[in-house]
Structure 1
Amino acid sequence: MFILKSVVGKLWMTIIGLVAFVLLILSLFWGQYIQTYFAKTQDQTQTLLRLSTRVAAEVIPHLNEPKYLQTINELLSAQDAKIILLDTKLNLLPMEQKEAVKVDSLFPKSDLQSVLAGQSIDNHEQVKMGSKDRLESEYLAVAVPLKAEGQSGSLGALVLYQTVQSLESTQAYVKRLFAYVGVMGFLLTTFFAFFLSTRITQPLLQLKKAADLITLGEYGTRVPITSSDELGELAKTFNHMGEELEDTIKALNHEKEHLASVLRSMIDAVITFDAEGHVILTNPQGEKIVQEWSLIGLQEGETPPVNRQTIPKPMQQLFEAVVAEASEMNSKLHVRNEVWSIVMAPLYSRDVVRGAVAVLRDVTEEHRMDKLRKDFVANVSHELRTPLSMLQGYSEALLDDIAASPEERKELAQVIHDESLRMGRLVNDLLDLARMENGNMVLNFREVEVGTFIKRIYRKFAVLAKEQEIALAYELPELPLVLEQADEDRLEQVMTNLLDNAFRHTSGGAAISIKAEQVLHKDADAIQIDISDQGHGIPPEDLPYVFERFYKADKARTRGVTGGTGLGLAIVKNIVDAHQGNVVVRSTLGQGTTFSIILPCKKL
């Protein structure tokens, strides 16, 4: 019940219980009193019987003397008692008295007949049991026979009655008293409960309302101090607590904003997990990683959890190790052609690991540069070692006169010359590439007519195509194509490198084509030049790396004297990028490869 859940209700019920207990004790005492009073009534009956017997003995000689009888009544009136004399026919004997009470109201005739027969009676039972007749509840009466001494029959009957307090009226009075006391008790209890509600519970309700507002974030809430008692001290303490809490929350928010600013400004990704691997806190970089990496390993049509993000699968193993061993760990993750350096440390709560915090840094470029450095050293060493070995070997053969004829000596000298040219090309390409990557490449921009440029490139490679029995063709649109700003010499270097690769990987009887057309690139006019061959093609896994230095799709390091240096496509990309263009490659293994160069038409 609601009333039992409130302080006022509990106090009200307590006071009502106390009042009911007091009334119960009073009722026990009153009951004892009534029982005692009823016992005195029995004694009074016996007294009246004795008195009536004595009066009857004194009255018999004076039945015919009304004044004597009147004198007796006057004497008995001092005790609120009177006598009534009846003859044998139950008629009143002549007396000088006013009839205050009728005999019929005291005794029925049947009882009076038994009195005439010599039996003494009283109306005590009628008083005890109660009657609807009001007189029976106000008088105690006895009736005795009038017998003369020495006579067997009775001369009549004497009725002696005396005023008594009615037991029923006493009980009714007690009931009314208890009713009045009960009503007064309940009224006082209710009034006191309302008083408590105003003076005691109202401040408590104000404290509860203020606490609810503070729970909702209104930390400036205060309660009025209306008294100097314990409730006033409680309100004062509550207000002080609110002030301290507000200051603490402000300090925490300041620290939180400071930490959030630091996290947002960090280039590294920061992700915090709880002990179950759920994401607690991230900075923008970390949120991006969680969103992207959560898609890894999902089946087709499966969606990642939205309400609570979990630790991505690439970090799962490291997280479990950190939580299990409770120690900081470093690792590198290879995820979707990217390399991430990750440092993960456990978070503690009272010496118990409650989660982990991970800091991730994208080291893809560093990893790629380190790989390029290692590959560069290995490739340069190989590219230089092979011709140097050949130069050393053939020169020693010449010095030792191993060649017996002039033709053999000429052939050895030709090999030495070719290898020296190859070393020269390698050194030149390395120098060009270094200048391009350092931003020291000088471009001489001028207007270039694409049709004339492609025709010149075609004539340059027509003889080589004829020698290798490869069909070389070009395709130009009807309208002339013009590059307003381009370095023709550098573009020729681009075309030469691409066509060298095409001829090197295309067998006799196949075809190589050059096609130029105007396209839209990034919502602007551009010219696209495609160099397509029908060679061996490039495997799909090698396509992202073909523009790196010394990268070889065939994984073979041996080349003939006319082979390339492995730097041609890297030079192509740098020259195209310097023209603010783009170069892409499409290839199908066993069917051929197409390199597309896209250059802007407008001025740079």
Structure 2
Amino acid sequence: MFIIKSVVGKLWMTIIGLVAVVLLILGFFLFRYIDTSFPNVSNQEENLLRLANKIASEASAHHNDNPYFEALSELLETQDSGMKLLERGAISMDEPLFMAGDKMIKLKEVLKPEELEAAFAGETIRKRFSVSMNPWHGGYVYVAMPLYIEGQAEPYSVMIVYQSMQSVEDTQVYVKRLFALVSLMGFLLTTFFAFFLITRITKPLTELKKAADSIIYGQYDKRVPPVSNDEIGELTQTFNLMADRLQGTIKDLNHEKQNLASVLHSMEDAVISFDPEGNIIFINPHGEMMMEDWNGLDWDEQEEDAMAPYKGHIPDPLRQLFNEVVKETKGISSRLHVKNGVWSVVMAPLYSEEQVRGVVAVIRDVTEETRLEKLRTDFVANVSHELRTPLSMLQGYSEALVDDIAASPEERKELAQVIHDESLRMGRLVKDLLDLARMENGHMEMNLREVNIMELIQRVQRKFLVLSKDQGIRLETDLRCHDLVLRSADEDRLEQVLTNLLDNAIRHSSEGSTITLRCDKAEYMKASAVRIQIEDEGEGIPPDALPYIFERFYKADKARTRGAAGGTGLGLAIVKNIVDAHRGTISATSTVGQGTTFSILLPTES
């Protein structure tokens, strides 16, 4: 069945069928021609009968002329025929008539005694008989005819004229058999050469098929050597050219795919591709980390069980956007708030033949950008607020002086003092803003030298003793850093740090409380360091506000107000920048209603 389904089998069966049909048609017309054009046995019998009548008509004139009959017999033998005369009274049934091959044919094998008597009685007998000595010999036909002498009523002799049927019927059979044999040989040779030729034709096609199968399995370097210059050779060259271009195209596609994969893997944004059902079909490393974080979160309590199996599937925060993109078939941009983070999401549909075959989402963590934007907004609002109050006071009191509202010199002096204090406050605010801007831009001027920590702390303590006593606050020290020296530090900047921290502590501590300055040895970044702590017993800082206290203008207590001599709201931000410039760190711990402790770690070798 396989060879019938193959090209070789189909071509072979076509050629063999065509040859068979041609031979059948040719044989039909040939046999028809033989049957109609060649003489048959009946014609041969008629001719033999006419010949016998002709001889019999002339026998009366030559009845005693033996040489005549011998000459006739010899002449008939040349035509595969013969003649025998039988005399009455001198006849024996064992008398030989003629030789058929190696066998002698006797009279009794041709005529029966009663037939012979009938012939002598004047009857003409026409019969056939066959011999089996030669399989190709079809037998003989003979005529037994009586011979008369003119004037006599009874025949004096019986003449037997015979002729081999091989010259007639056997010739037809022989020609037909010969044609059949030649046709069979021609059919077999045609089959052989057709199969051989078709195999030669289809062998390159088989090689092309094998090469195509190899290309299917990714062996794009497979080629077929041309074996001829005909159409098959041109097909082979075209196939090789196609394979070269396909290999080049695949190489370019793989190169582009690798480039795209490299770009997607190196992107800081999360890139996720979904199918129409919301299953993830592609995700880059940042997307995997984001999905792990999101899958580890607990969503709304009522949907906790439903969100658990979304691993490998679209997460709940993106589901609404996904459904909108699939429904509207257009891109959507939005921002999502997931727990404490803010994410910018851009979703766009993926098309295949004008149908949406999926959705691609680019997700970026914009939590820090959002926080910075909020800080910028708050900074502008805070600066405006901090400047608006002194400006309003400057404007009001100056108008009072201009309008002579103050009646006495003491009142005018008091108004002038207020104007002076507010201008100093504005000056401090501007100075702190400029200092903070320079620090954050890396333009802080540092005068580095050796600094004795104990002497620095004692000097700052003496500076605040009078102020703390006036507020009814005890200012104590616990110094365990007698021999600690910072090898490279700016003493004035560190004094500014301690001054700001002590000023905040005194401002937010109540009467009768204690502020303690501590100093001891510590280790920071696997190196020797000094730890400075300022501990107060003030109102404390709420836990949710602690991460933001070092930001500009941040107020832990939104109801807290500053007096005329209060701070600018930039002190802790300046403190952190100075500590960072000394390669140290500052932190704060606080309990609401019990107090706050600021801890500073400064490396001694920096």
Q: What TM-score results when the alignment is normalised by the length of structure 1?
A: 0.63
Report sequence identity in percent. 43
Residue pair 1:279, 1:311 contacting (<8 A) in 2 also: no
Task: Report the Cα distance in structure 1 between the residues aligned to 2:457 and 2:591, rounded to whole angstroms.
Answer: 25
User: Which residue of the partner structure matches residue 379 of structure 1?
Assistant: 382
User: Which residue of the partner structure matches residue 24 of structure 1?
Assistant: 24
Query: Deviation string for 1:118-175 (max 9, x for gaps)?
Result: 6967447x6xxxx965267343234769899999xxx999683424153654443222
Residue pair 1:115, 1:157 contacting (<8 A) in 2 also: no
Equivalent runs, 1:452-601 vs 2, <5 Å: 452-454=455-457, 464=468, 474=478, 476=480, 480-502=483-505, 514=518, 516-521=520-525, 524-531=527-534, 538=541, 541-559=544-562, 564-585=567-588, 595-601=598-604
Task: Report the Cα distance in structure 2 between the residues aligned to 1:558 and 1:35, rounded to whole angstroms.
Answer: 138
Residue pair 1:476, 1:516 contacting (<8 A) in 2 also: yes
SS in 2 for 1:380: helix
Instruction: Give 1:598 deviation, angstroms.
Output: 3.0
Query: Deviation string for 1:265-321 (max 9, x for gaps)?
Result: x99979798997999999xxxx6765554545334798976xxx9999779949965
Query: Deviation string for 1:362-387 (max 9, x for gaps)?
Result: 98777666544432332233335556
SS in 2 for 1:297: helix
Task: Report the Cα distance in structure 1 between the residues aligned to 2:563 and 2:380, rounded to whole angstroms.
Answer: 21
Q: Give the residue type in structure 2 aligned to 1:80.
A: D
Task: Report the Cα distance in structure 1 between the residues aligned to 2:372 and 2:132, rounded to whole angstroms.
Answer: 123
Task: Report the Cα distance in structure 1 between the residues aligned to 2:10 and 2:390, rounded to whole angstroms.
Answer: 106
SS in 2 for 1:381: helix
User: Which residue of the partner structure matches residue 447 of structure 1?
Assistant: 450
SS in 2 for 1:485: strand
Equivalent runs, 1:326-475 vs 2, <5 Å: 371-386=374-389, 426=429, 429-437=432-440, 439=442, 441-454=444-457, 464=468, 474=478
Does residue 179 of structure 1 match 2:179?
no
Task: Report the Cα distance in structure 1 between the residues aligned to 2:451 and 2:166, rounded to whole angstroms.
Answer: 146
Instruction: Give 1:574 deviation, angstroms.
Output: 1.4
Task: Report the Cα distance in structure 2 between the residues aligned to 1:371 and 1:532, rounded to whole angstroms.
Answer: 31
Instruction: Give 1:575 deviation, angstroms.
Output: 0.8
User: Which residue of the partner structure matches residue 305 of structure 2?
Assistant: none
Residue pair 1:548, 1:570 contacting (<8 A) in 2 also: yes
SS in 1 for 2:82: strand
Alpha-carbon distance change, 58 to 335 in structure 1, aligned in 2, over 3 angstroms: same
Residue pair 2:98, 2:105 contacting (<8 A) in 1 also: no
Q: Give the residue type in structure 2 aligned to 1:381.
A: S
Instruction: Give 1:571 deviation, angstroms.
Output: 1.1
Q: Give the residue type in structure 2 aligned to 1:141.
A: V
Task: Report the Cα distance in structure 2 between the residues aligned to 1:377 and 1:320, rounded to whole angstroms.
Answer: 37
Task: Report the Cα distance in structure 1 between the residues aligned to 2:6 and 2:500, rounded to whole angstroms.
Answer: 92
Instruction: Give 1:497 deviation, angstroms.
Output: 3.0
Instruction: Give 1:177 deviation, angstroms.
Output: 0.6
Query: Deviation string for 1:34-80 (max 9, x for gaps)?
Result: 55479823432455567679989999999999878756634543532
User: Which residue of the partner structure matches residue 121 of structure 2?
Assistant: none
User: Which residue of the partner structure matches residue 73 of structure 1?
Assistant: 73
Instruction: Give 1:572 deviation, angstroms.
Output: 0.9
Query: Deviation string for 1:249-277 (max 9, x for gaps)?
Result: 89x99x989x99xx89x999797989979
Query: Deviation string for 1:211-247 (max 9, x for gaps)?
Result: 969x97779x9998986x878988999999999x79x
SS in 1 for 2:40: helix
Residue pair 2:326, 2:356 contacting (<8 A) in 1 also: no
Does residue 298 of structure 1 match 2:284?
no
Task: Report the Cα distance in structure 1 between the residues aligned to 2:549 and 2:91, rounded to whole angstroms.
Answer: 151
Equivalent runs, 1:116-195 vs 2, <5 Å: 122-123=127-128, 133-134=133-134, 137-142=137-142, 160-165=162-167, 166=170, 169-190=174-195, 192-193=197-198
Gaps of 5+ in 1: none
Q: Give the residue type in structure 1 aligned to 2:25.
A: I
Residue pair 1:222, 1:242 contacting (<8 A) in 2 also: no
Q: Give the residue type in structure 2 aligned to 1:179.
A: L
Tell me the C-alpha RMSD between the 2 structures.
6.8
| Greater displacement, 347-356 / 186-195 | 347-356
| Greater displacement, 66-75 / 309-318 | 309-318
User: Which residue of the partner structure matches residue 82 of structure 2?
Assistant: 82
Alpha-carbon distance change, 65 to 333 in structure 1, aligned in 2, over 3 angstroms: same
Instruction: Give 1:18 deviation, angstroms.
Output: 3.4
Task: Report the Cα distance in structure 2 between the residues aligned to 1:593 and 1:599, rounded to whole angstroms.
Answer: 20
Instruction: Give 1:519 deviation, angstroms.
Output: 1.6
Instruction: Give 1:569 deviation, angstroms.
Output: 1.2
Number of residue equivalences: 566
| Greater displacement, 44-53 / 542-551 | 44-53
Q: What TM-score results when the alignment is normalised by the length of structure 2?
A: 0.63
Instruction: Give 1:570 deviation, angstroms.
Output: 0.5
Residue pair 2:534, 2:598 contacting (<8 A) in 1 also: yes
Task: Report the Cα distance in structure 2 between the residues aligned to 1:534 and 1:113, rounded to whole angstroms.
Answer: 168
SS in 2 for 1:134: coil
Task: Report the Cα distance in structure 1 between the residues aligned to 2:419 and 2:112, rounded to whole angstroms.
Answer: 173
SS in 1 for 2:487: strand
Residue pair 1:106, 1:141 contacting (<8 A) in 2 also: no
User: Which residue of the partner structure matches residue 300 of structure 2?
Assistant: none
Task: Report the Cα distance in structure 1 between the residues aligned to 2:125 and 2:533, rounded to whole angstroms.
Answer: 151
Task: Report the Cα distance in structure 1 between the residues aligned to 2:415 and 2:74, rounded to whole angstroms.
Answer: 182
Residue pair 1:273, 1:280 contacting (<8 A) in 2 also: yes
Instruction: Give 1:450 deviation, angstroms.
Output: 3.4
Task: Report the Cα distance in structure 1 between the residues aligned to 2:469 and 2:555, rounded to whole angstroms.
Answer: 23
Query: Deviation string for 1:189-219 (max 9, x for gaps)?
Result: 3554467579xx599969x89x969x97779
Residue pair 2:269, 2:364 contacting (<8 A) in 1 also: yes
Equivalent runs, 1:192-231 vs 2, <5 Å: 192-193=197-198
Query: Deviation string for 1:478-524 (max 9, x for gaps)?
Result: x8433211123322332343344456667777986746432241x55
Alpha-carbon distance change, 461 to 101 in structure 1, aligned in 2, over 3 angstroms: same
Residue pair 2:93, 2:106 contacting (<8 A) in 1 also: no
Task: Report the Cα distance in structure 2 between the residues aligned to 1:289 and 1:601, rounded to whole angstroms.
Answer: 40
| Greater displacement, 71-80 / 411-420 | 411-420
Gaps of 5+ in 2: 119-123, 298-307
Task: Report the Cα distance in structure 1 between the residues aligned to 2:514 and 2:35, rounded to whole angstroms.
Answer: 138
